[in-house]
Structure 1
Amino acid sequence: MGVELPAWAHGPSLALVAVFIYTTWVFVGYDITVFLAGLGNIPAELYDAARVDGARGWALFRHITVPLLSPTTFFLSIITVIGTFKAFNHIYVMTMGGPGTATTTASIYIFRQLYEYNRYGYSAALSFILFSVILVLTIVQNRVAGRRVVYE
Structure 2
Amino acid sequence: SAAAGQAPRPPVSPARCRSRLCPRRPAGPMARISRTFMFALALVTELANAVVWVKGSGGASCETVCKARSGCNEDAWPQSAEEFEGIAAEAGHRCEGTQNGGAKYDPSTDGHYCGWAGPHGRDSEPRCAAVGDGTTYRFCPCN
Which is richer in helix? 1
Structures share a fold, TM > 0.5?
A: no
State the TM-score, normalized to the length of structure 1: 0.26
State the TM-score, normalized to the length of structure 2: 0.27
Which is richer in strand? 2
